Structures are given as C-alpha cells and as structure tokens.
C-alpha cells in the first residue's frame, strides 16, 4: 500500500507539476476559520482542496491567452500569505 501511495503521488506530481504552499497555508487557514487550537486533519484537507480548486479556476479564467501552471498561482499567493503571517507574528512579539 505504501508503494502504491508513493507511486500515485509521483504520477500526480509529474502530471500537474509541483504545487507550492498549499500544505503550508491550508492548516493555518482552516485553523483560523474553524477557530480551533490545533489544525484538524479533515479541516486542513478540505481547505487544501478548496485552495487548489480555487487557484486552478483562477488561473484558467484570468490567463486565457496561455497556459499557466497552477503551481505558479499557489506559489505566488502562498508566498504573500506566508509573508503576512511572518509580519503579523513579528508585530505580536514586539508588543
């Protein structure tokens, strides 16, 4: 089962390309939305699916002239989100 899981993940990554920052942003966003002390696995998985679907739809609708990989959109938005998290945490530690 482990080999099958790894093979399926490898095929999906090879077909779609790497998708950056979804695993980083999904638990943080789900924890903030649900207001739970820790990220739940189901909530984080659902948030990851929503983020990836929304990113894919946005890339398809906004950039119709050419094909833009969804990893570019998630990397750009995820980087901005990570920067916002770091700035918010920096402000909290100074106070």
Domain locations in the chain as residue ranges: 18-94
Percent of the chain with pLDDT over 90: 11
Confirm if 47 and 33 have CB atoms less than 8 A apart.
Answer: yes
Kindly report, residue by residue over 46-78, the tens digit of the pLDDT: 998 998 888 888 888 887 777 778 888 888 888
Tens digit of each residue's pLDDT (9 = 90 or more) over 14-52: 877 777 788 888 888 888 888 877 668 899 899 989 988
Q: Please, which pLDDT band fits residue 1 given cuts at 50, 70 and 90?
A: very high
Q: What backbone torsions phi and psi does residue 72 show, to the nearest 5 degrees?
A: -70, -45
C-beta of residue 17 within 8 angstroms of C-beta of residue 75: no
> Which of the four pLDDT bands, split at 50, 70 and 90, describes residue 4?
very high
| Residues 6 or more apart whose Cβ sits within 8 Å of residue 23 | 48
Using N-to-C axis directions, what is the helix angle for 41-62 and 70-94, rounded to 10°? Answer: 120
């Amino acid at each position: 089962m482990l080999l099958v899981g790894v093979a399926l993940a490898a095929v999906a990554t090879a077909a779609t390309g790497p998708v950056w920052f979804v695993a980083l942003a999904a638990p943080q966003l789900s924890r903030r939305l649900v207001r739970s002390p820790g990220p739940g696995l189901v909530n984080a998985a659902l948030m990851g699916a929503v983020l990836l679907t929304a990113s894919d739809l946005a890339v398809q609708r906004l950039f119709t002239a050419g094909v833009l990989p969804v990893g570019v959109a998630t990397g750009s938005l995820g980087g901005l989100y990570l920067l916002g998290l770091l700035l918010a945490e920096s402000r909290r530690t100074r106070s």
